[in-house]
A and B are shown apart, each in its own frame.
Chain A
Amino acid sequence: MTKTAFGFPLKHSHIKTKLAASLGGGAETTTTITSMKFSVKTWSNGKARTGLLQLGNCPSPIETPSLLLSTRKGLPLFISPDLLPSLPLPDSYLLQFSPLHFLEGLSTKTIAAIGGLHQMLGLHDYVYAAVLRDPIQCLPECDASNKFGASFETPCGRVLVKPADYMDMIASMKPNIWASLADEVPAWVSSKRNRTSVDRTVKWLDECIALGSAKAAGGALFGAIVGGSNIEERKRCAQEAAIRNVSGYWIGGFGLGESMDERPALLNAVTVSFKLTRVLFKNTDYFECFIFKAKGEWLFYCVRLEIHAACWMNRVVTVVCIVGSEVMIEVRDAGCQDSLQEEKPRLVCGLELPEEVLQGVAAGIDLFDSSKDATPIVQNCVCYTCQNHTKAYINHLLNVHEMLAQTLLEIHNTHHFLGFFRSIREAIKEGRFDLFRQMFVQHRREQLAAVAVCA
């Protein structure tokens, strides 16, 4: 496989500039809202994509698809701040937290007095993303949510969070990224309840936007998208979010009872509600591009670059990117609106197993909120744990219930999951994501079968 040049410096920068101007920022687009920048770099097999996420306080850009490390009160469960840098950087700069964690003992006033989360945690280079739902401790309780706010089961009991409460939290904690308040419902609710959840989520998005500017909350707002297991509601919510002033999208309502099989359709409904095909041309002279339709695929011919926005058989054709001799164009149904603008990052909540992450990546998701995968200690692992300790020692710590076992395992598992995301990115860059996914899923299946036989 040849490695694409996308993501490398452009050789024909003047052409890029010209293109960007004529496309209204279509090529190599970046979004600058607050201090977050995001740009999509490569696509593979349809919608899987890599990108670069940049945040003002973070020393280096972070490549996506990427994992947000889950935290408890801003720190990983067992990894103290001096051990955090032992995880691969910059991959481990992204941290996710639930503002609800701080109901246990800290007022928003005190957090504001300390100067926000980065200051309070002493992690100035790290990126904090605020999402109320935390899969372990703060679960949405849809029966108790009402038109005023969303309800959660937390270690402090059940709490109802109204947009104003939530924005107080955001204004005091000052996260880099925050998702708007959502009314998340499980897959089995009635279609009426599901519709209500979309209505409320959209309404709360407006309220969060208004309150956010009133309270000078700052940070990049990710518009919440819900809709349960109804494709039309998902589309509706996505389109509502897309037309608002948001920096990215937070896709909720997953991991709440929907089946693995129905998920791709739901994810696709959100990320693209139109038919989109991206075609990557390698080793072509971009003045004479050919797009083929073979075996049901597109065939398109353009003699000159000027037809970058041409119409062909009722399809809109857009030149997305040109680097050296590689050309990428986008073909989509005419009249369809881009429901989630391509250049904005998409963060999903509730996809935790590696197989689920791969579903998300295939649908064009960029950021994932947590991981549930425990990887056995293997040979050749380069993580802090495996470099410093033997399997025998870790087994001993587990046997005697020592906390260090949890610390070492969290480091190892996080290291591995970050590595998994790195291989996903490599596969996308090399244009072989589908193959990678197939191989990975098959390998996992064999592994799990082997474990089952042993047990």
Chain B
Amino acid sequence: MALRFEVLGRFNRARAARLTLPHHVCQTPLFMPVGTQGTIKGLTTSQLEDIGCQIILGNTYHLALRPTSELIDDLGGLHKFMNWPRALLTDSGGFQMVSLLHLADITEEGVTFQSPVDGKPMLLTPEESIQIQNRIGADIIMALDDVVKTTITGPRIEEAMYRTLRWIDRCIAAHKRPNEQNLFGIVQGGLDPVLRDICVRGLVDRNLPGYAIGGLAGGEDKDSFWRVVAQCTAALPEDKPRYVMGVGYPLDIVVCSALGADMYDCVYPTRTARFGTALVPEGVLKLKHKAMAEDTRPIDPTCACMVCKKYTRAYIHSLVTKDAMGSQLLSYHNLYYMLQLSRNLHFSIIEGRFPEFVCDFLQKMFPEGDVPEWVCNAMEVAGINISPCCALLSSSRQYFSSQGEKEFEAEKLSCQGEKEVEDEKLSSQGEIEFEAEKLSSQGEKEVEDEKLSSQGEIEFEAEKLSSQGEIEFGAEKLSSQGEKEF
């Protein structure tokens, strides 16, 4: 075991801890930005240090393809390769094979997939995954698991769970650097509490340095989502870190932290930045909206990041979806927002004001008191009284629609497994960016489509709205049922 996990403060199930990893001492709750290819969207490692990033997630599948784990090993490991002095985590690579490659096939031996290089069938076994991750050298490495969509039911879920348990032993046996790298096991079992329970107990028996809750953030309904998290966090050991994979949106992180989870990763902050969306306490701010062109306020007046200190919404509006700098600056702000959220969670727990923080957070995001029911349910289980920020919906709804123009300023984040399809064209250098990280390590699917004509913006957006019935105003056209999705 190459980590120390010390809980510094608690509020009911929520905890704030010091997680000492070989390369960095981290504070939990902890958001881990995704640096798929050994970099995060145009930001330098010194900028990431500036904004308080403690740990970066790298994708084994991509790194093994290019530049290859052997090269990374030759050059002294991923830390040295990307010149990142702080902590790193790599996933097993299995998830991305299954989700990116149509021809992937999972057998007892491992994941068989077609090589994207020469098309030949290749096999990723648990041993191979660990070997690659040993070469990459991250502080935390993930076991290869049998990934299935949470929306699938039936015997396949059970098979995957048991296979994940069989594979963890092969991973443990293959792990050659247990004193420098921490192997985390992944709890599977879909939405079935019995299967989840068997998996948790099986993994806890192996006494691993940390545990992840996998198979979520894949489009399951939010109520099922938080119940799985709550069940797993309750059953996992108190003295080990708990990582909810592929989560998530700011609201998800607050809820999961209240339920006792510690670590999160999501591509959302950087991906959404590329399409001109900023994360703000009220939800999201769409900077490509025409109204932004004359808005001389910062993105978030309460944000202390470099971008909010220097730039107006109007200036960012002129950059987004047109210049690379637009996504660079928005990624900077969005990551700062997530890292600041992590810090706020940590200190509010330590300072004994966690419920106040949660209420404040919910009040800003749902000023009319329309906190989603799943959040209310989860907070009840977490023992956090959020009644001060919940109100009767009927009166506030009326008020809300009379405030029509407020809508485009700060749209609420849809928290219902939002599916977006985006396709982006960067105009500045005629560069078409290849987006290899279409999928995050655990299942977020976001697809957006955006076409920019040189003579003016023709915008078409297909978004599936949450069951909250959010109404979007402005130039955006939406398909009422999301049937025009790609």
Contact = CB atoms under 8 A, between A and B. Distances in A.
B293 interface: yes
A122 B294 CA distance: 17
A5 interface: no
A187 B433 CA distance: 36
Interface residues of B, number: 49
A21 interface: no
B38 interface: yes
A77 B324 contact: yes
B314 interface: yes
Contacts of B47: 80, 82-83
Given A389-B83, A404-B44, A107 B294 contact: yes
B318 A102 contact: yes
B39 A402 contact: yes
A114 B315 contact: yes
A353 interface: no
A157 B456 CA distance: 9
A293 interface: no
A114 B83 contact: no
Interface stretch (B258-266, B303-311, B339-347): B303-311
Contacts of B294: 107, 109-110, 113
Contacts of B317: 105-106
A393 B44 CA distance: 12
A155 B322 contact: yes
Nearest to B315: A120
A276 interface: no
A392 B71 contact: yes
A113 to B, nearest CB: 6
B42 A400 contact: no
A369 B50 CA distance: 32
Contacts of B332: 80
A104 B322 contact: yes
B164 interface: no
B319 interface: yes
A283 interface: no
Contacts of B67: 392, 395-396, 399
Nearest to A109: B294
B383 to A, nearest CB: 41
B473 interface: no
Interface in A62-86: 72-73, 75, 77-78, 80-83
Interface string B317-330: 11100111101110
B234 interface: no
Contacts of B45: 388
Interface residues of A, number: 42
A400 B63 CA distance: 10
Contact of A114 (B44, B46, B312, B428): B312
Contacts of A399: 66-67
B300 to A, nearest CB: 16
B81 interface: yes
A130 B294 CA distance: 22
A408 B325 CA distance: 14
A388 B83 contact: yes
Contacts, number: 132
Nearest to B426: A403
A72 B329 CA distance: 14
B318 A73 contact: yes
B296 interface: yes
A106 B314 contact: yes
Interface in A356-407: 384, 388-390, 392-393, 395-397, 399-404, 406-407
B47 to A, nearest CB: 7
Contacts of B312: 114, 120
A121 interface: yes
A155 B427 contact: yes
Contacts of A107: 293-294
Contact of B37 (A104, A390, A395, A402): A402
Interface in B30-77: 37-47, 50, 62, 66-67, 71, 75
B436 interface: yes
A185 B43 CA distance: 40
A401 B296 CA distance: 34
B44 A104 contact: no
A396 B324 contact: no
Contacts of A393: 38, 81-83
B399 interface: no
Interface-centre pick from A395, A400, A406 (highest chain B CB count, 10 A): A400
Interface in B279-310: 293-294, 296, 306, 309-310
B486 interface: no
B455 interface: yes
A317 to B, nearest CB: 53
A245 B325 CA distance: 38
Interface in B388-425: none
B46 A121 contact: no
Which residue, of A83, A105, A399, has the highest number of chain B Cβ atoms within 10 A? A105
B454 interface: yes
Contacts of A189: none
A393 B327 CA distance: 22
Nearest to A154: B454
Contacts of A122: 309-311
A156 interface: yes
A110 B323 contact: no
Nearest to B427: A155
B50 A82 contact: yes
Interface in A91-117: 102, 104-107, 109-110, 113-114
B74 to A, nearest CB: 9
Contacts of A78: 42, 324-325, 328
B427 A406 contact: no
Contacts of A390: 75, 81
Contacts of A157: 454-455
Nearest to B67: A396
B37 A80 contact: no
Contacts of B319: 73, 105
Contacts of A120: 311-312, 315
Given A75-B325, A390-B75, A404-B39, A83 B310 contact: no
A390 to B, nearest CB: 7
B433 A104 contact: no
A400 B62 contact: yes
Contact of A110 (B37, B62, B314, B324): B314
Contacts of B433: 401, 403
A45 B312 CA distance: 49
Contacts of A73: 315, 318-319, 323, 325
B39 A110 contact: no
B141 to A, nearest CB: 20
Contacts of B44: 83, 384, 388, 404, 407-408
Contact of B318 (A105, A384, A402): A105
Nearest to A157: B455
A113 B66 CA distance: 48
A75 B429 CA distance: 15
B7 to A, nearest CB: 35
11 contacts: A72-B428, A73-B315, A73-B323, A80-B42, A104-B318, A109-B294, A384-B44, A388-B83, A400-B66, A403-B42, A406-B324
- A-B pairs, top 7 by smallest CB distance, nearest first, are A122-B310, A105-B318, A403-B42, A396-B67, A404-B39, A106-B318, A400-B37
Given A80-B329, A155-B454, 17 more contacts: A73-B315, A73-B323, A73-B325, A75-B325, A78-B42, A80-B328, A80-B332, A83-B44, A105-B314, A106-B315, A114-B296, A120-B315, A121-B310, A156-B454, A384-B44, A388-B45, A393-B82
Interface of B: 37-47, 50, 62, 66-67, 71, 75, 81-83, 293-294, 296, 306, 309-312, 314-315, 317-319, 322-325, 327-329, 332, 427-429, 433-434, 436, 454-455
Interface of A: 72-73, 75, 77-78, 80-83, 102, 104-107, 109-110, 113-114, 120-122, 155-157, 384, 388-390, 392-393, 395-397, 399-404, 406-408
